[in-house]
A and B are shown apart, each in its own frame.
Chain A
Amino acid sequence: MIAALANPRAFIRFSQWAAPLLGAVAAVLGAIGLWLDFTAPPDYQQGYTIHVMFIHVPAAWMSTFVYACLGGASFIGLVFRHALADAAARAAAPLGAAFTLLALVTGSLWGRPMWGTWWVWDARLTSVLVLFLLYLGYMALDAAIDDEAKAARACSILALVGLINLPIVHYSVVWWNTLHQGPSVFRAGGPAMPPIYLAPLLTMVLAYTAAFGALWLVRIRSEVWRRRAGALALRAAD
Chain B
Amino acid sequence: MRRYVAKRVLHAIFVMWLVATVVFFGLRAIPGGPIRAMLGPEATPSAVESLRTQLGLDQPLYVQYAEWFSGMLAGDLGTSITTGQEITTLIAAAFPRTFSIAIVGVIVGLGLAIPAGIVSATRKHEPADYVATVAAFLGLSMPAFFIGILLALVFGVRLGLLPIFGYTPIGEGFVPWLRSIILPGIAVGLPYAAIVMRMMRSSLLETMNEPYMTTARAKGIDSRVQLYKHAMQNALIPVVTVAGIQVALILVGSVTVEIVFGIQGIGRMLVDSIIDRNYPVTQAVILLVAAIMVFANLAVDILYTFIDPRIRYGGEP
Q: Do A and B bind each other?
A: no
* Chain A interface residues (CB < 8 Å from chain B): none
Using CB atoms and an 8 Å cutoff, list the residues of chain B in contact with chain A.
Answer: none
